[in-house]
Amino acid sequence: MTVDHIGIAVNSIEAALPFYRDKLGLRAVHSEEVASQNVRAAFLQAGESCLELLEPIGSEGAVAKFLKHRGPGLHHVAFQVEDIKKEMNRLTPLEALPRAGARGHQVCFLHPNNAHGVLIELVQHD
């Protein structure tokens, strides 16, 4: 497994982007709305991995709940895997099946209780 990206929950991508882009010098490489997750996502290249800024759309969804309870900050660490179904059988995912995620990849999440308090995302590039 390799680190695909690190997810950071923010109240506003527009407000957070100048820090990551202008101050840290990271290059914005992709943005999209992921309606199924009620978020807007912006990816910034950071070496061989990315940072993913996550802004909630409305008050529903995991990122909105995260921000309400914890405030902005580290949301998850995502690992790229070769075979997501194989990894799901080996690990304990929150979902029964992989689903479509940002950038058209298949994703699933592992519960933080199974990863020492860290929300882990598995990502299979198509």
Domain boundaries, the chain: 2-124
For range 67-84, the mean pLDDT: 97
For residue 4, pLDDT over 90 is answered with: yes
- The reported pLDDT for the residue numbered 126 is 80
Whose CA is closest to 7, among 59, 93, 70? 70
Run of H or E residues at 122:
strand 120-124
Q: Contact, 9 vs 75, CB < 8 A?
A: yes
**Assigned CATH for 2-124:** 3.10.180.10
For range 73-77, the mean pLDDT: 98
Tokens for 122, please give them: 């598995």
For range 43-53, the mean pLDDT: 97
* pTM (global) more than 0.75: yes
CB atoms within 10 A of CB 89: 10
- The reported pLDDT for the residue numbered 72 is 98
Q: Contact, 41 vs 31, CB < 8 A?
A: yes
